[in-house]
Amino acid sequence: MPAHSIVVAPSILACDFGKLHEEVRRAEAAGADWLHLDIMDGHFVDNISFGPAFVDAVAKVATVPIDVHLMVDRPDHYFPRFVKSAANITVHVEAQHDVAKTLAAIRASGRTCGLSLRPATPFESVVPFLDQIDLLLVMTVEPGFGGQPFMPEMMSKVQAGAAARAQWNYRIEVDGGINAKTAALSIEQGADTLVAGTSVFGAPDMALAVRQVRGV
């Protein structure tokens, strides 16, 4: 079972960019706890999404915390550009940086810090840093593109994160293919923070979709 209250974080990557401010307000009205923003540089993942100016534009109207996920080669170089608007900044263990130093720098900036790992990366790679994070992000798809199918085999990492959390206090976030069914499975294994994109922004009733992801 999760150690914290359930947070639903709609992924802005799945919204209508042409109606950005309306989409932010729609997500919040539907019950979003956070807003999740994926930053992709075209190098660390095979896609390019948006940058600091876009995040700042979201922050102009957002009233809930902004959760920034840096899928970039050099998160140590780029994270300061997101400090103004983000509440949490997550970086990847596989990226080209001193992980401990980057996490410490994010915290020193006054933001909480998260650490993520790709599906092919063993859980052991994040273990040395679990005492230094506020959030562990388990990718349940290969990062880079929205709308991919959920990878149930990633639940072993959620379980491992939940077991290790007995020593430390961090949230466990899942991202990729999250809908009512996969959210319930993730929560059962110990996740407490659910990033949902297509399943909520593309739903006929977004508020209902958010409640279903939350499990209520």
- For residue 206, CA distances in Å to 28, 65, 164, 213 come to 10, 19, 34, 10
Annotate 53-79 with three-state secondary structure. HHHHHHHCCCCCCEEEEEECCCHHHHH
Q: What is the mean pLDDT of residues 160-178?
A: 95
The pLDDT, as a whole number, for residue 115 is 98
What pLDDT score does 160 carry?
98
Task: Supply the pLDDT for residue 185.
Answer: 98
Q: From the centroid of its chain, how far is CA 23?
A: 18
Report the pLDDT value the prediction gives residue 149, as an integer from 0 to 100: 87
Our answer to whether residue 175 is catalytic in this structure is yes
Tell me, yes or no, if 38 is annotated catalytic.
yes
Output the pLDDT for position 34: 98
Task: Read off the pLDDT of residues 46-86 as tens digits, 9 standing for 90 and up.
Answer: 999 999 999 999 999 999 999 999 999 999 999 999 999 99
Q: Is the pLDDT of residue 166 over 90?
A: no
The active-site residue out of 38, 41, 73, 76 is: 38
pLDDT at 1 over 70: no
pLDDT digits (tens, 9 = 90+) for 138-157: 999 988 776 778 999 999 99
pLDDT of residue 128: 98
Asked whether the predicted pLDDT for residue 24 surpasses 90, the reply is yes
Q: Is the pLDDT of residue 165 over 80?
A: yes
* Tens of pLDDT, residues 81-113: 999 999 999 999 999 999 999 999 999 999 999
Q: Span 193-216, mean pLDDT?
A: 97
Indicate which residue of 33, 67, 76, 175 is catalytic: 175
**Chain mean pLDDT for the chain:** 96
Q: What DSSP designation does 136 have? A: E
Q: Is the dihedral of CA 131, 84, 64, 67 positive or negative?
A: negative
- E-state strands within the chain: 7-10, 35-40, 66-71, 88-92, 112-117, 135-139, 171-175, 193-196
